[in-house]
Amino acid sequence: MKFVQICDQVEANAGEVDRTALIGTWINSNLDTTSIARVKISDANGRLQLQVFAIGPDGLIDWGTSDAQIFAGGPSSRTGVGFTCRYDFGFAEARLQAMIMKGLLVLAQFHLFKDDSGRADYFLREYFALSHDRF
Amino acid sequence: MLQAPFKQRSHLNPELSAAGANLEKLLGRWLNTNRETRGIAECTVAKDGDQIKVSIVGVGDDGLMAWPTVTAHALANLEEEAGQRTGALMATFEFDFMRVDTHMRINKGVFVIVLFVMFLDDSGRSNYLNREFFYRG
């Protein structure tokens, strides 16, 4: 088994990573965000799918759906605790990297501009809570 | 005047036009705060002309394992909590059996690497994520 860090030398049996903990609608904890307001994560025929709604000048902007890559907590774990995903808007690309920490979804965003607007590529990191109807 | 295209309000932040990535604090040699780590022992971030190069050393079976040095993508940081404005880096390390997407940033003086590891072989290992913390060496 090849590795470049000893933690990757593990016994493992191929199997699907459980995506249960990620499924649902995650709401930004920052009421004043100028970025993503909520993320809807669903299981689409065995694929992890995202739908992002971001804050626009005149209301929410639906980014549409995109497939995400799921990540477990370790190389021998089968519990999904994070994902990566890309949105290509033509003028810019948004790369998302997320992980569940202490019950919150920590979402890092990388915005890479492809147009000639002169805007700098930038990074954002915000916290999201899973919406529920228990209390 | 035409408005630049956007998909969220922060795309229109006027500070983006003047933003530099502000990476000085990221430069240098960083050592893992966990001396028992079985992952990354150290990381070096260096300027090479206009580019930022990142070198990682992993902990191996019987010694350290140098990963190939890669060029990082620098990003400005406009709005992170607690007014932190040091930029972030994004870098991808590719091996024949795995690919590692990372981002790196400073949080309260600690250098943080977040890794998203994807196995390309048939070892049965799960793709996984990990976070490691480093102090200035």
CB contact under 8 A, A55 and B67: no
| Facing B128 at nearest CB: one of A6, A71, A111 | A71
User: How far apart (Å, rounded) are the C-alpha atoms in residues B115 and A8?
Assistant: 13
Q: What are the chain A neighbours of B87 within 8 Å (beta carbons)? A: 123
Lowest mean pLDDT among A77-81, B17-21, B106-110: B17-21
CB contact under 8 A, A34 and B90: no
Given this structure, which CATH class describes domain B20-136? mainly beta
Q: Where are the domains of chain B?
A: 20-136
Q: What are the chain B neighbours of A110 within 8 Å (beta carbons)? A: 73, 75, 88, 90, 103
Q: Would you say residue B20 has pLDDT above 80?
A: no
CB contact under 8 A, A120 and B21: yes
pLDDT tens for A9-44 read 998 877 899 999 999 999 999 999 999 999 999 999
The third-level CATH classification (topology) of the domain covering A16-130 is Lipocalin (2.40.128)
SS (H, E, C) chain B: CCCCCCCCHHHHCHHHHCCCCCCHHHCEEEEECCCCCCCEEEEEEEEECCEEEEEEEEEECCEEEECCCEEEEEEEECCCHHHCCCCEEEEEEECCCEEEEEEEEEECCEEEEEEEEEECCCCCCCCEEEEEEEEEC
CB contact under 8 A, B59 and A6: yes
% of chain B exceeding 90 in pLDDT: 80
pLDDT tens for B67-105 read 999 999 999 987 655 566 788 999 999 999 999 999 999
Q: Where are the domains of chain A?
A: 16-130
pLDDT tens for A45-90 read 989 999 999 999 999 999 999 999 999 999 999 999 999 999 999 9
Secondary structure tally for chain A: helices H, strands E: 0, 8
* pLDDT recorded at residue B80: 58
CB A112 within 8 A of CB A91: no
User: How far apart (Å, rounded) are the C-alpha atoms in residues B115 and B103?
Assistant: 7
Q: What are the chain A neighbours of B38 within 8 Å (beta carbons)? A: 5-7
Indicate the pTM of the whole model.
Answer: 0.94
Three-class SS state of A90: coil
User: How far apart (Å, rounded) are the C-alpha atoms in residues A73 and A99?
Assistant: 9
